[in-house]
Amino acid sequence: MRTEQPALSVVVPMYDEEEVLPMFFERMRPFLNGLGTSYELVVVDDGSRDRTATLLLEAARDWPQLRIVRLLRNSGHQAALSAGFRRARGGFLVTIDADLQDPPEVIAEFLAAVREQDVDVVYGVRSDRSSDTWVKRTTARMYYRLMCRLVGEEIPFDAGDFRLVSRRVVDAVNALPEDGRVFRLVIPWLGFPSAQVRYVRAERVAGTTKYNLSKMLRLAFDSVTAFSAAPLRLATWLGLLGGLLCCAVVIGALVVKLAGQSIPGWTSTVLAVGVIGAIQLLCLGLLGEYVARLFQSSQRRPQFLVGYDSLDDPGHHTFPE
Ligand code: UDP
Ligand code: MG
């Protein structure tokens, strides 16, 4: 078990999930055992403070395929997924939530899709979001629209983090040196051939959402800043605009002064504030441009990824023997 590579790794991030854990295992265990492939279930305990850790250890006692990876502190859903990507050993990797909103049975459809269509990614796409509130649906739609624009690739709408990827994708994701990756954007961005499986997303079986507002905002900010320096560039344009406005004010003040209608002290005050304001805004914009460049090069994303090389293909010889 320790040394051999399982065919499938199922990665589950868990944060304070003691209420759903027993139900999750009850449904997952017979399903995985009935799949007929070797597997490991990698639970990433994202620094839970409740009895999750204890329940996991208990379950692992008579379940050798259950692997526990415990993070020292709560690092967030995407960071927990990153840990799972690094630790999983399977030839295929499925990520799934612990709260049974994503039905485990759909994994069988993922595997079928991968066998039939020879793809590297199978997205689970929610065919019905009626279990979500109106606010969540609307903000989600805005999010996916914006992200399609920024990433420049087709982001499957309503695809969360329930998906299957091949080992090639896992290695490509792990090779990205950037932090704060948003999996639902990075994986489409990599550009591997993909398929989609539609499923109905259920309600959370127990407990409450572990995604509070601040975590949701974090995801939105990470999504935008990972793919765009536009907010930083905004500083340049604001700086230019502010600079022009300041020039206009300064000229206006001088004209008023020359016309002799100025209150004593007013012109010099406007001049001082205007000139300094303009210089500051322009410098800030300039700084923004440099920070944007630094940011982009610090991500060190690969310029390209090779999907196929005939040299690696045993059935296709391009060179005479
Ligand atoms: N989760 C996590 N760390 C966090 C927040 C959430 O590992 O800081 C896990 C959580 O246990 C669940 C998954 O991420 O397995 C999705 O979270 P949740 O179901 O609460 O989000 P929602 O479905 O409400 O968007
Ligand atoms: Mg959920």
pLDDT digits (tens, 9 = 90+) for 42-98: 999 999 999 999 999 999 999 999 999 999 989 899 999 999 999 999 999 999 999
In the listed set 227, 256, 274, which residue is the last one of a domain according to the structure? 227
CA 172 – ligand 2 centroid, Å: 27
- Which pLDDT value is given to residue 232? 76
Locate the ligand 1 atom nearest the alpha carbon of residue 46 and give its number: 7
In a domain, 102, yes or no: yes
In a domain, 311, yes or no: no
pLDDT band at 30 (very low <50, low <70, confident <90, very high): very high
In a domain, 309, yes or no: no
Q: Are residues 220 and 82 in the same domain?
A: yes
CA 205 – ligand 2 centroid, Å: 9
Q: Are residues 71 and 15 in the same domain?
A: yes
In a domain, 3, yes or no: no
Q: Which amino acid is at 117?
A: Q
If one residue of 15, 73, 133, 205 were mutated to test the ligand 1 pocket, choosing by the most ligand atoms within 8 A of its CB, it would be: 15
Kindly report which listed range (18-22, 128-132, 302-306) carries the lowest average pLDDT score: 302-306
In a domain, 2, yes or no: no
In the listed set 181, 203, 227, which residue is the last one of a domain according to the structure? 227
In a domain, 308, yes or no: no
In a domain, 305, yes or no: no
* Average pLDDT score over residue span 170-180: 89
Ligand 1 near 101 CB (within 6 A)? yes
Q: Are residues 90 and 172 in the same domain?
A: yes
Question: Higher-confidence residue: 135 or 120?
Answer: 120
Q: Are residues 223 and 240 in the same domain?
A: no
Q: Nearest Cα to 24, choosing from 82, 73, 66, 61?
A: 66
Q: Are residues 235 and 199 in the same domain?
A: no
CA distance 247 to 242: 9
Kindly report which listed range (13-17, 48-52, 253-257) carries the lowest average pLDDT score: 253-257
Range of the domain at 238: 229-299
Q: Are residues 67 and 123 in the same domain?
A: yes
Q: Highest-confidence range of 23-27, 198-202, 278-282, by mean pLDDT?
A: 23-27
Q: Are residues 215 and 281 in the same domain?
A: no
Q: Are residues 127 and 51 in the same domain?
A: yes
Ligand 1 near 197 CB (within 6 A)? no
**Residue owning the nearest CA to atom 17 of ligand 1:** 210
CA 5 – ligand 2 centroid, Å: 29
Q: How many domains does the chain have?
A: 2
CATH of residue 82's domain is 3.90.550.10
Ligand 1 near 102 CB (within 6 A)? no
Q: Are residues 284 and 145 in the same domain?
A: no
**Residue owning the nearest CA to atom 14 of ligand 1:** 77
Indicate the average pLDDT of the chain.
88
Q: Are residues 216 and 271 in the same domain?
A: no
In a domain, 306, yes or no: no
Ligand 1 near 127 CB (within 6 A)? no
In the listed set 208, 227, 246, which residue is the last one of a domain according to the structure? 227
CA 79 – ligand 2 centroid, Å: 16
Q: pLDDT at residue 18 above 80?
A: yes
Q: Are residues 218 and 74 in the same domain?
A: yes
**Residue owning the nearest CA to atom 25 of ligand 1:** 211
Ligand 1 near 17 CB (within 6 A)? yes
Q: pLDDT at residue 318 above 70?
A: no
Q: Are residues 218 and 253 in the same domain?
A: no
* Average pLDDT score over residue span 8-36: 96
CA 216 – ligand 1 centroid, Å: 11
pTM confidence score: 0.83
CA distance 175 to 305: 11
Query: Could you tell me if the ipTM is greater than 0.90?
Result: yes
CA 117 – ligand 2 centroid, Å: 29
Kindly report which listed range (14-18, 28-32, 56-60, 72-76) carries the lowest average pLDDT score: 72-76
